[in-house]
A = this chain, B = another copy of it.
Amino acid sequence: MTRYQHLARLLAQRINQGLYVCGERLPSVRALSREHGVSISTVQQAYYLLEEQQLITPQPRSGYFVTPHQSAHPMPALTRPPQHPVDVTQWEAVLEQINMRQQPGIMQFGDCTPDLTQPTLKSLWKIISRIGQQQDIRLLRYEHFYGAPELREQVARLAIDSGCHLTPEEIVATNGCHEALSIAIRAVCQAGDIVAVESPGYHGILQILHGLNVKVIEIPTDSQTGISLEALELALDQWPVKAVIVVPNCNNPLGFIMPERRKRALLALAQRFDIAIIEDDVYGELAWEYPRPPAIKAFDSDGRVLLCSSFSKTLGPGLRVGWVVPGRYLDRVLHMKYIVTGFTVQQTQFAVAEFIRQGCYPAHLRKMRQLYQRNLEAFTAAVLQHFPCGICVTRPQGGYLLWIELPEVVDTAKLNKRMHESGIQIAVGSLLSASGKYQNCLRLNYGQPFNASTEEALKKLGEAIQQAMEEDLVELEK
C-alpha cells in the first residue's frame, strides 16, 4: 500500500467511525501534511481518492467536506472480476451457509426465501388441501415425464407477459429453478468447457458449474444495466466460451433489469459467436415496472435461449415447481431431466396450476410487488442510517435482494460468523464470485416483513461492521 492509499484509508475509517461527521469540513491539506508527516501532494492524492469513492466532496475555495447521506445514495460501480476462466471452489463455504439457515430462530437476511405469510396465498392452501381430499390417483403415479399438462398450459399462458409465445410442449417441468438450471447447463456444456457468468452472480449457478467441472469466466456487471456486453465480447473473442448465463430481470444479487436494447444486443452477440444463453428469470415477475419486463427468450429467433424459472420466489420454494424452455436443446434437456431426477413431484404441480387457473396469481403478484417495494425503502433507509458512511447500496428494480459494498477492510465471511452468534445471517459476497471476489460485500433479503426486530438486527449488523472497521484501524495505527 502506498503512503497516500494508507492515509486515505485512515481518513475513511475516521469518517466511517463518525470522528468526522456527515457534512463536516475536513482538515486542510497543509494541516494533514503536518499531522502525518507526509508531503502536500500525498495528502492531495489521498483526498482525490476519497472524492472518487464519494466519501468526501470538494467545495470551491472552502476545502473538502464529508459527503452527506443522500436519498440518491452511492451505488456499486461496474465490477472488475479477473478476465480469465477460473475453477469455482467454495463448496464448503456454501454448505456452511446452507447449514446455518437450518438453525431455528435465525434472522434470515442471507437466503432467498420470499414472504410466505400474505393472505393472497390462502387459496393455494385450500387447493393443496382439496387435492388431497379428492384422492386423485395421478398424485401417486408416474405421470407425464415433461410435467403435468395443466401446469405447462398455465406456464405458457403466463409467459405471454414476458413476451414469449410458447406451446405447452416447449416447456419441461422441473424440481424448482435449480433443477432447470442444472439440466440446462448439462444440456449445453461438458466438463472442461468454459461458461461466462455475471459477476457477482448467484452462487447456486456457480456451484452447479463447479460440480460439472466447467470453468467460469466472470464478466464485469453494472448494478443498473447488467452484464457488460463490451467485456463479454472481449471474453468471447479470446476464449472458447460455450454459453453465457444471466439473470437479466431483477438480478440476483444486483437487482437490475437489463434494458431491452441490451437484451437484444446480448442475443445478437450470442448469435455472432454461436453460443447458448441460459436465462434465469426466477425473479422476473417481481419487477416494480408493469407490465413486467420481457425475457431475452422473447427475442430468441433461433432457439438458442434456455429459459429457466420457477414459482419459488413468487409462491414458495418448498413447492419445487419450476420449468425450463429449452428451445433447440429440447432433446438434450429431456435426457438430462431423465438422468437427474426422472420425474417431478405431482401434487404441487397440480396445486400451482389450479392456483393460476383460478386467477389468484396476478393479485398475489401485485401484492408481493407492493410489499417488496415498500420493504426496500424501509430497509435501505435503515441500512443507510445504521451502517457506516462510505458504503454502496444497490437500487433494485424488483425482487427482494439488496447488495451492499462495505469498505474493503471488512471481511463479510468473518462478519457472518460473528453475527451468527447474535442470531443474524447474511449472504457472504465472496460466495457469489467464482474467483472469491467481493469479500467486502454482502447480500440482504428484504423480503421479510420490516418491523422493530428487523431494524434492531440491521442496527446490530451496522455496529458489527463499524467494529470490524475499528479493529482494522487499530491494526493500521500500530
Contacts and interface: CB of A to CB of B under 8 A. Distances in A.
Interface in A126-149: 126-133, 135, 137-145
A346 interface: yes
A139 B318 contact: yes
A298 interface: no
B339 A145 contact: no
The listed residue with most B CB atoms (<10 A of its CB), out of A112, A117, A344, is A344
Contact of A317 (B140, B208, B315): B140
Contacts of A49: none
Interface stretch (A65-73, A92-100, A360-368): A92-100
B343 A320 contact: yes
Interface string A331-361: 0001110111111111110000000000000
A347 B128 contact: yes
A468 interface: no
A345 B175 contact: yes
Contacts of A338: 91, 94-95, 98, 204, 207, 211
A279 to B, nearest CB: 18
B135 A132 contact: no
A182 interface: yes
B128 A142 contact: no
A334 B131 CA distance: 32
B335 A91 contact: yes
Contacts of A318: 138-143, 343, 345-347
A342 B130 CA distance: 28
A84 interface: no
Summarize A's interface: helix, strand, loop or mixed: helix
Interchain residue pairs A-B with the least CB separation, the first 3: A140-B316, A129-B132, A211-B339
26 contacts: A101-B142, A102-B145, A112-B142, A116-B137, A125-B132, A127-B132, A128-B131, A129-B130, A129-B131, A131-B132, A138-B318, A140-B319, A141-B318, A175-B320, A175-B341, A176-B343, A179-B342, A182-B341, A186-B211, A190-B191, A190-B213, A207-B338, A208-B339, A211-B339, A318-B346, A340-B340
A22 B308 CA distance: 61
A111 B116 CA distance: 38
Contacts of A135: 125
Contact of A142 (B132, B317, B340): B317
